[in-house]
Structure 1
Amino acid sequence: MIRAASESDADGIREVSKHLGYAELSPEQSFLNLVAILSSPNDHIYVTERNGSIIGWLHLFYAKRLASEGFHEIGGLVVSPKYRGQGIGRALVEYALDNNDGEIRVRCNAQRVESHKFYEAIGFRCSKAQHVFQIRAQ
C-alpha cells in the first residue's frame, strides 16, 4: 500500500532511512525534518507499508527556478533491503508520476550504477552530468 506520509510515520521512516548510507539523524531531528517537509506545499512524502510497518519511502519536491521552468525532483527514495527487488521502488516512483504533473527529475551519485539502471528501466534518461560543490556558511 502506498500513501502520503504522516507525522506518526516518523520512526518507520527513520528506520528505513538507515539504509541510505548517510549519517543517521537523531529521532528528534528526524521528526522535525518530517514535520517541516509535511507542512511544505512544495514537498510530498509517499510511504509503502506492509503489515503496519514502513518498508519504503519517496520524497518529491517542487524546484522553482528563476530562469527556467520549475520541475519536481526526487529528493530521496529508499526501500528496506529485505524488500528490494520486489517492485516497491518502482511502484513509489510510478505513484509519484501518477499524482504529479510536469517533469520529474532525480539526481544520482555517479558511483550508484544500480540506481542509474533502476531509473533508466522506469523510463528516466540521463540529461546531464554535473559536479556538486559545497561550503559551510558561517
Structure 2
Amino acid sequence: MVTGKEQRHVTVVQSENNRSEFTVRPAMAEDAEEIARLATELGYPSSAQEVEARLKSLVKDPEHAAFVAAKAGRVIGWVHVFVKHLLESDEEAEIGGLVVDARHQGSGAGHLLMQHAEQWARAKGLRSVYLRSNVIRKDAHAFYQKSGYQVVKTQFALRKIL
C-alpha cells in the first residue's frame, strides 16, 4: 500500500504474450483476501485479516509500498518494497515479497510488478534494490537474473522466537 501523490498511479499494460491486459496499482485493504491467498501459495500462510492489518500499518509508512497486478479485476500478483537502513551500508530498497499466481507466471505480470517497485525506489532516491530468494526457488532465481539482478551472496537465515 502506498501513500503520496507520486504513488497513486495505475498502469495498464498488454502482457508479453499479447493475450492479457494487466493493471498495476497500489494495494488496498480490499485486496487483503487475494494477497493472503497468494502469500499462502508462496509458502507464508496468512489470513485476510492479518494481511489487512499489515496493509493498514504499511500505508502509514512512506518507506513501504505494495503494488498489485490485476487481470479482469482480480489480483494475480503483488510486490512489497521498502527502504532498508543499515549501519554498515547505504540505504537501499528491498523486496519484501513478490508473488504471481502460478497460473499467470510467465505472463509478464512479475516483470511489471518489479518495474513498479524499482520506479518507487528511484523516486525515493535509492540507487539499488536488494532481494532474497529461497535456495529451492530456482525458477525465481532465473527470473530475477533475467531481470538484471546479480547474486551478491549466499546466506544462512536464522530466526529465534521470542
> Please, what TM-score do these two structures have when normalized by structure 2?
0.79
The farther-off stretch of 46-55 and 24-33 is 24-33
Unaligned 5+ segments in structure 1 are: none
Is the Cα–Cα contact under 8 Å of residues 82 and 94 in structure 2 kept in the other structure? yes
State the identity %: 30
The equivalent of 2:128 in structure 1 is 103
**Partner in structure 1 of residue 57 of structure 2:** 36
2:30 is matched with which residue?
8
CA deviation string 1:5-48 (max 9, x = no partner): 122221221222221122x2233222111211222211100101
For 1:67-106, list aligned pairs within 5 A.
Answer: 67-101=88-122, 102-106=127-131
1:50 to 67, 71, 76: 71
* Map of 1:122 onto structure 2: 147
- The answer to whether the 8 Å contact 1:16/1:54 transfers is no
| Correspondence 1:56-67 to 2 at 5 A | 56-67=77-88
SS at match of 2:58: helix
The TM-score normalised by the length of structure 1 is 0.92
Structure 2 unmatched ranges of 5 or more:
1-22
Cα displacement string for residues 79-137 of structure 1 (whole angstroms, at most 9, x for unaligned residues): 11111111110111112212322210110111111111110000000011111121112
Size of the aligned set, in residue pairs, is 136
Counterpart residue identity of residue 141, structure 2: H
Cα-Cα RMSD: 1.3
- Residues 1:112 and 2:137 aligned together: yes
Q: Which residue of 1 aligns with 2:47?
A: 26
